[in-house]
Amino acid sequence: MKDRVTTPWKTVIVVLTVIGTLIAMNQAFFWNPGGFSLLANSYLYLVLACFLPIVFLCYPIVKSQGGKRLPSYDIAIAALVLITCLYLGYNGETIITFGWDYAAPPLATAAAFVLWIAVLDALRRTAGLVVTGIALAFSLYPLIADVIPIGFLRGLSFDLKTTAQIHALGADSILGLPLQVGGSILIGFLMFGVALQHTGGAAFFYDLAQAAFGRFRGGSAKVSVISSGSMGMMSGSAVSNVLTTGPMTIPAMKRSGFAGKYAAGVEATASTGGTITPPIMGTAAFLMVSFVGVPYAEIALAAAVPALLYFLGIFVQIDAYSAKSGLRGVRRELLPRFGGVLLKGWPYLTALIGLIVILIVYKNEVQAPYFVIAFLLVVEIVKFALSSDLKKVPALLFDFVYSAGRTIGEIIGIIAGVGLIVGGLSMTGVSLSMARELIALVDGNIILILIAGAITSFVLGMGMTVSAVYVFLAIILAPALVALGINPIAGHLFVIYWATVSYITPPVALASFAAANIAKTPPMATSLVAMRLGAVKYIIPFAFVFNPALLAQDAGLVEIIYTLLFAVIGVFFIGCAFEGWAIGVERRMHAVTRVITGLAGITTLAPELTSSLIGLGVGVLAMVVTRFVNTGEAPTGEVPIEDDAVAESLARTDDIGESTDETDSART
């Protein structure tokens, strides 16, 4: 796809992106020049007019056309979509006033069909056939809803013309909650992620990870965890993280003495964790804002502790693996200096801290990213000015806006298509009854509904984007969880966590397979290693559902603190058990002791204080037994590594953060 979009068409994309961003900023900052303001539906149509055509310019009709020049039919489709959305945006007030979603004139009806088809094709190009097939089925569902033999799936039915009108002109389908969130919050945050990457943020976090952890045992793997997690905060994609940082971290881990499949598993697991890590996270987290009805800052704060526990679980296992295998870190003199990296990277730390302050103190998630983007770009321009390289600024801004346009266009294409799922369920009235029927089906048993929800999220996650899975289950499963007394944020995060599990779990395991391809290891074996490393991700969702204190919800400060402390200890026990090495004690663990320690870790994570104390006591006892009774010993020597070769592999930061067609096509 490198030659598909030539410079003139890149310029078109840049112009569309600038116009779309200015329109979004007008809504965010209430500029309303000349007293002119946009109705909500007109604004969303203009967002589609600016960003939906980019999908047809950047993504080929079939993958085999990816390496060819932009064909005339894709240009024609993009132009048709642009004209259609502009027409609908111009008539936004008329659509509402005259009820065009049920009785539109012929031209508007034709426009509705064009938009419906275009959104489905945009979804197919960006997210694949599986999710498109699901969206198509739900969008056609109103045609047969009244004849469905299953009671709770039976609903209101509409003819094809009215269905198209409601999908394209109504407020609950293409223009529904997903696109409303995309238009209000996502555009700014997606641009912020791109700005971080294009101004060197990704390389900074990578260097910071090297400086902080490179010299410790298993340092190359720990660098991978931090750098991939940081990249995930910016891109929101597990697969793109693997493809971006994996070519550097995986060879470095292998040269440090890690087995190939273990190195690939570390990269896949860490990259997947980036999609659930605040403050940016993935697209689904922003969709939670509308479904849960709380500020994004509260969602990000709630997600912080589970993300911390997830990465702690990976760290503990890496440290235990390195200890029992005799792996060491790289000599300190071959790594970047921590103080120097911090000093050089002050703009990125300032940007993140500023974003967090604006989110928490001012509670303005719509405007927050634009302030931080402006700060990063100004700092970068000043850097060029001080080095007398101002001639590079236009290229920097052009590349930044182009990459932002591609990113936003892709996400807008996905969430507009996902909106069809919402529309099909809402217009038939079925969405109102599904949660009630689900509760009745499991007879109000929370354990059963959580297990069913986890399995459903995982299965859907194998073929759908995380945002699509989340929207679908936010309509069906999450209301049932809330009705059973589960904290709303906990219920919705439960869905997101289990939807992302599919990235490292066979049989699909996209992130694991991508890492295996880089490491040249068997994909299935790599996926199994990634599953073990990411074991906390399978446990934590159940833990925070039963104990919302892990999300800083429904609890006082003291309870939150001791809950976090017990959770950290529990994750530590689980990590040691999985690797069979007692960190601190520095002894191998017997099989029986491993099982006991693992169960102790899970018990320590349990919501009741009594069970946590019992788990803590049993875990400590198992460690003591391992130290004084178990015959396992530490390795007699260290695995020799070539420090220079490892440092050279880790030092290739120039490529980090560069947007590629392959990574752009793999977002959540």
Please, are residues 235 and 196 in contact by the beta-carbon 8 Å criterion?
A: no
Contact 56, 74 (CB under 8 A): yes
How far apart CA 312 and CA 424 sit, in angstroms, is 41
d(CA 466, CA 457): 9
Is residue 569 one of the residues assigned to a domain?
Answer: yes
How far is 493 from 293, CA to CA, in rounded Å?
14
- 197 within 8 A of 234, measured Cβ to Cβ: yes
At 158-198, the pLDDT tens digits run 999 999 999 999 999 999 989 998 898 889 998 998 998 88
Note the pLDDT tens digit of each residue in 372-416.
999 999 999 999 998 888 888 999 999 999 999 999 999 999 999
Residue written as token pair 């007398």: 388
Q: Going by DSSP bridges, is the β-strand pair 587-588/581-582 parallel, antiparallel, or unpaired?
A: antiparallel
Q: How far apart are CA 31 and CA 29, in angstroms?
A: 6
The partner residues of 194 in beta bridges, in order of sequence, read: none
- Token reading at 63: 């993958």
Distance between CA atoms of residues 367 and 373, nearest Å: 11
**Residue range(s) defining the domain that contains residue 591:** 556-632
DSSP annotation string for 155-199? -----HHHHHHHHHHSSSSTTSHHHHHIIIIIHHHHHHHHHHHHT
- Residue 566 belongs to a domain: yes
150 compared with 294, residue with greater pLDDT: 294
DSSP string, 332-347: GGGS--HHHHHHHTHH
CB 191 within 8 A of CB 408: yes
- Is the separation of the CB atoms in 563 and 603 below 8 Å? no
What is the distance between the alpha carbons of residues 548 and 545, in angstroms, rounded to a whole number?
6
pLDDT digits (tens, 9 = 90+) for 343-381: 999 999 999 899 888 888 888 889 999 999 999 999 999
My answer on whether omega of the bond before 507 falls inside 30° of 0, hence cis, is: yes
* Cα–Cα–Cα angle for 40, 281, 176, rounded to 5 degrees: 25
SS (H, E, C) 355-415: HHHHHHHHCCCCCHHHHHHHHHHHHHHHHHHHCCCHHHHHHHHHHHHHHHHHHHHHHHHHH
Banded pLDDT at 635 (limits 50, 70, 90): low
pLDDT of residue 661: 43
Q: Which of 507, 538, 416, 425 is nearest to 467 (CA)?
A: 416
Tens digit of pLDDT for each residue in 307-316?
A: 999 999 999 9
Q: Which helix (H) or strand (E) holds 419?
A: helix 393-428
528-547 residue pLDDT tens: 999 999 988 899 999 999 99
Contact 217, 319 (CB under 8 A): yes
Rounded to whole angstroms, the Cα distance separating 278 from 276 reads 7
Q: Where are the beta strands (DSSP E) in 466-576?
A: none
In a domain, 613, yes or no: yes
Q: Is the dihedral of CA 347, 353, 355, 358 positive or negative?
A: negative
Asked whether residue 584 is assigned to any structural domain, the reply reads yes
Neighbours of 150 (CB within 10 A): 7
- More confidently predicted of 568 and 66: 568
Concatenated DSSP letters of 569-598 = HHHHHHHHHHHTEETTTTEE--HHHHHHHH
| Spatial distance between the Cα atoms of 166 and 422, rounded to a whole number of angstroms | 12
In the numeric block, the tokens 């909650």 are attached to 177
Average pLDDT score over residue span 142-147: 92
578 in any annotated domain: yes
DSSP assigned state of 270? H
In this prediction, residue 296 carries a pLDDT of 87
pLDDT on residue 655: 53
- Mean pLDDT, rounded, for 585-609: 91
Q: Is the peptide bond before 247 cis (omega within 30 degrees of 0)?
A: no
pLDDT band at 231 (very low <50, low <70, confident <90, very high): confident
pLDDT for position 107: 97
What CA–CA distance (Å, rounded) separates 619 from 605? 12
Number of Cβ within a 10 Å radius of residue 371 = 17
Q: How confident is the model at residue 252 (pLDDT cuts 50, 70, 90)?
A: confident
Asked whether residue 142 is assigned to any structural domain, the reply reads no
Q: Are 246 and 515 in contact (CB under 8 A)?
A: yes
Q: Is 490 helix (H, G, I), strand (E, B) or coil?
A: helix
In the structure, what pLDDT confidence band is assigned to residue 248 with cuts at 50, 70 and 90? confident
Band (pLDDT 50/70/90 cuts) for residue 633 is low
pLDDT at position 470: 87
Is residue 39 within 8 Å of residue 60, measured between CB atoms? Answer: no
**Rounded to whole angstroms, how far apart are CA atoms 211 and 223?**
9
- Token pair in block for residue 177: 């909650």
**Residues 651 and 642: beta-carbon distance below 8 Å:** no
Q: What angle do CA 158, 160, 165 make, to 5 degrees?
A: 85
Between 35 and 601, whose confidence is greater?
Answer: 601
For residue 639, name the pLDDT band (cuts at 50, 70, 90). low
Give the pLDDT score at 549. 93
In sequence order, which ranges of 214-259 are alpha helices (DSSP H)? 219-235, 238-255
pLDDT at 664 over 50: no
Domain count, the chain: 1
Is position 19 within any domain?
no
Categorize the per-residue pLDDT at 476 as very low, low, confident or very high, splitting at 50, 70 and 90: confident
pLDDT tens per residue, range 37-95: 899 999 999 999 999 999 999 999 988 787 788 999 999 999 999 999 999 999 999 99
Residue 598 lies inside a defined structural domain of this protein: yes
